[in-house]
Each structure stands twice: as C-alpha cells, then as structure tokens.
C-alpha cells in the first residue's frame, strides 16, 4: 500500500460526458502528479501541483483540468470525453516539489469511454 | 528534447536465468534515474534510483542497475529471476529543474517462464 488513494477505481461513461477523478496523497506529501497510461502512448505526464499551485504541465489536453485543494487532495476533471480518452489515470505524490527521491503511485482509475 | 528509450518491449526468460532490461536516455542537463515495476492491476512501485555517487545501485528484490554517463544508459539487471518477477518494468528520468515530474520509457514486459 503506497498510501496514495484514488477514486473511483473504475468508471464507464459515454462520449461527450464529463468525469472527475480524485486523489488523496500520502500523509505529508505536498506534490501531486497526474499521469495517463494507455497502450499506444504509454505513461504520459499530465500535470503536477505543489502545495496548491500548478508546478509543471505536460501533455494535458485543454479539455482536461486539475486542481489541488487546501487539504492537498487533487481532482482531475476530464470533459467532452472522446473514445481516445479511455485509459488508466494514475496519481502520484512526493514530499517536495523537485523529485530527488521517489514518487508514490496510487492504483489508478480506469476510465472507459463508450 | 529529453527522452527515455527502453529498447525491448518484451523480454522472455526462463526462471533462474539472468536478465538485463535496457534503458537509454537523452538529455542535455543532469538527470536522476529510476526503475519502477508495475504488477498486474497495480500502481507503480520504485525498484531503485540513481541520484549521485556510485554508478552501481542496488534495489529491492535483488535488482541492480548501472548508470553509464558516456553511453547515457541505465540498464537493469538481476542475476537470477523468479516467476514472481513477471511484470512491466519502466525506466524513468527526472531532469534537473524546479519540477519533480518523471519522464517514463515505454516499458518492458518481463515474462519469466518455468
């Protein structure tokens, strides 16, 4: 158990819909990262938040947005969903803003868009 | 551009045989290097990391890796594999800067056969 909690574990929805994925980091970790894992793209970095502020941005679509709340949990919002958004979405956390140690990963949220 | 390449998508090997999973990176700045393992239906777990110092690093489950700066490689090795080592292995790089994001390779599936 990494200490990172993601909900829901599985989600099935239709094209055009909007979903929210939630992540609670390990106790004491201030950074939260979101990754998308798909068969064709592999593990793609989406975005990092550190103590409530956006720290780094990767290949995140404009239809996607994220935020980190004062209690440090984070939400990833995916809107106008397309079939190609079907993937496993991972949240990870770390103590600091810069990774000189380890990212702790949750078990992921599997999104299926029909 | 900064990138990570895992040269083998699948590596089949018999139990108790040695294995090497290859990883090369491209970067113009200093890097930190990691190997993560993903068991089926689970999140990623850190195997080992290189931050500085000795270029040979030892990790969990008997794995080790060697950082070769001149060849920009960070290959993962284990002298004798077990059935339980069957999993997806990811090489990852963190570049110096003010972010902790990791860039992952495409992954290598290690298939240990009895």
For A21-80, write each residue's pLDDT tens digit: 999 999 999 999 999 999 888 899 999 999 999 998 998 999 999 999 999 999 999 999
Say yes or no for a CB contact (<8 Å) between B43 and A43: no
Say yes or no for a CB contact (<8 Å) between B44 and A90: yes
Interface residue of B43, B59, B103 to substitute, partner A, most A CBs within 10 Å: B43
Judge whether B102 is closer than 8 Å to chain A, CB to CB: yes
Structure letter (DSSP) for residue A26:
P
- Chain B residue numbers touching A39 (CB-CB < 8 A): none
- Rounded mean pLDDT, B39-45: 89
Q: Two tokens at A39?
A: 């068969």
- Chain B residue numbers touching A107 (CB-CB < 8 A): 41-43
Residue A95 in this model has a pLDDT that exceeds 90: no
Judge whether B30 is closer than 8 Å to chain A, CB to CB: no
Average pLDDT of chain B to the nearest whole number: 92
Rg (CA), chain B: 14
Gap between the Cα atoms of A26 and A32, Å rounded: 9
Helix extents (H) in B1-114:
none
Residue A99 in this model has a pLDDT that exceeds 80: no
């Amino acid at each position: 158990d990494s200490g990172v909690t993601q909900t829901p574990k599985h989600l099935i929805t239709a094209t055009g819909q909007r979903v929210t994925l939630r992540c609670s980091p390990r106790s004491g970790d201030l950074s939260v990262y979101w990754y998308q894992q798909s068969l064709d793209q592999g593990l793609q970095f989406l975005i990092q938040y550190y103590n409530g502020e956006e720290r780094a941005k990767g290949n995140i679509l404009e239809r996607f947005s994220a935020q980190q709340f004062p209690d440090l949990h984070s939400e990833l919002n995916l809107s106008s969903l397309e079939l190609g958004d079907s993937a496993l979405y991972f949240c990870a956390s770390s103590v600091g803003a810069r990774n000189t140690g380890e990212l702790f990963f949750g078990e992921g949220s599997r999104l299926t868009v029909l | 551009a900064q990138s990570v390449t895992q040269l083998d998508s699948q590596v089949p090997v018999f139990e108790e045989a040695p294995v090497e999973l290859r990883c090369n990176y491209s970067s113009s700045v200093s890097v930190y290097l990691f190997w993560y393992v993903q068991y089926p239906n689970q999140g990623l777990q850190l195997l080992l990391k290189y931050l500085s110092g000795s270029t040979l690093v030892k990790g969990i489950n008997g794995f080790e890796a060697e950082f070769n700066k001149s060849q920009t490689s960070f290959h993962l090795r284990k002298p004798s594999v077990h059935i339980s080592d069957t999993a997806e292995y990811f090489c990852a790089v963190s570049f110096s800067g003010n972010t902790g994001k990791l860039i992952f390779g495409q992954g290598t599936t290690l298939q240990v056969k009895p």
